[in-house]
């Protein structure tokens, strides 16, 4: 059973606000990921991390930023939210000893008005 948590689950916020989406995992996994998911579309990788102090941009350009100060924590920040940021954001983690298998959190649904 994967233990990966995301908060908040739902967020409605006004344009221009700064927001941070939280993601934590208790499995000690070294790799963590953020995906953006829109209805009828592929999941798009926006950020990933190989471990503490490592962050990389994914395939989809994003105005968000991430940090990895602790192994278990991988928050995503939007400095100034816009309606185009409305989406579902999924966090995932994986153990490099378990080839390629990613475990997902429940997601955060973001609505920017």
Positions that interact with another protein (CB under 8 A): 4, 6, 31, 33, 40-43, 45, 48, 50, 56, 58-59, 90, 92, 94, 96, 99-107
Alpha carbon distance 51, 74 (integer Å) = 10
* Minimum distance of another protein from residue 49's CB (angstroms): 11
Which residue's CB is nearer to another protein, number 72 or number 105?
105
* Minimum distance of another protein from residue 79's CB (angstroms): 25
CB count, 10 Å around CB of 99?
7
Three-state secondary-structure class, residue 111: strand
* Minimum distance of another protein from residue 99's CB (angstroms): 6
Which residue's CB is nearer to another protein, number 29 or number 85?
29
Measured between its terminal Cα atoms, the distance across the chain in Å is 36
Which residue's CB is nearer to another protein, number 15 or number 60?
60
CB count, 10 Å around CB of 58?
15
Nearest C-alpha neighbor of 107 from the set 47, 23, 31: 23
Which residue's CB is nearer to another protein, number 10 or number 77?
10
Contact status, residue 23 vs residue 3, Cβ threshold 8 Å: no
* Minimum distance of another protein from residue 60's CB (angstroms): 11
């Amino acid at each position: 059973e994967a233990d990966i948590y995301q908060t908040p689950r739902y967020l409605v916020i006004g344009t221009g606000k700064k927001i941070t989406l939280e993601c934590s995992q208790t499995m000690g996994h070294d790799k963590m990921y953020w995906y953006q998911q829109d209805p009828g579309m592929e999941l798009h990788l926006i950020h990933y991390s190989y471990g503490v102090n490592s962050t990389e941009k994914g395939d989809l350009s994003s105005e968000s930023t991430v940090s990895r100060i602790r192994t278990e924590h991988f928050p995503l920040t939007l400095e100034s939210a816009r309606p185009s940021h409305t989406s579902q954001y999924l966090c995932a983690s994986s153990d490099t000893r378990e080839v390629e298998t990613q475990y997902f959190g429940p997601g955060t649904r973001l609505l920017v008005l």
